[in-house]
Amino acid sequence: MHQQHHSLISASLGTQREIISFHFGEEKYKQVYIQTALHGDEIPGMAVSWYLKQKLMALESAGRLRAGFTLVPVANPLALSQHWQGTHLGRFHSESGQDFNRRFPSLGEKLAAELDGSLTPNESENKRLIRDAIDRHYHDVIARTELEAQRFTLMRMASQADLMIDHQRAASAAEEPAISAEVAAPVIGGDELALVTANAEDIAAPRRERWRRSRYRKRST
Ligand SMILES: [Zn+2]
Query: Per the CATH hierarchy, to which homologous superfamily does domain 2-107+134-176 belong?
Result: Zn peptidases (3.40.630.10)
Question: For residue 221, is pLDDT > 80?
Answer: no
pLDDT digits (tens, 9 = 90+) for 81-133: 999 999 999 999 999 999 999 999 999 999 999 999 999 999 999 999 999 99
d(CA 177, CA 180): 6
Distance 36 CA to ligand 1 centre (A): 9
* Cα 208 to averaged position of ligand 1 atoms, centre (Å): 31
Ligand 1 center from residue 92 Cα (angstroms): 10
Per-residue model confidence (pLDDT) at position 202: 34
- Per-residue pLDDT, averaged over 77-84, amounts to 96
Q: Looking at the predicted structure, is the pLDDT value of residue 72 above 90?
A: yes
Distance 90 CA to ligand 1 centre (A): 8
Q: How far is the CA of 99 from the centre of ligand 1 (A)?
A: 9
Domain ranges of the chain: 2-107+134-176, 180-221
pLDDT higher at 176 or 129: 129
Give the residue with greater pLDDT, 141 vs 170.
141
pTM: 0.80
Taking the centre of ligand 1 as the mean of its atom positions, its distance from the CA of residue 131, in whole angstroms, is 26
Closest CA to 186 of 171, 175, 176, 196: 196
Q: For the chain, what is the total number of helices (H) and then of strands (E)?
A: 7, 7
Res 193: pLDDT: 33
Distance from residue 40's CA to the centre of ligand 1 (Å): 8
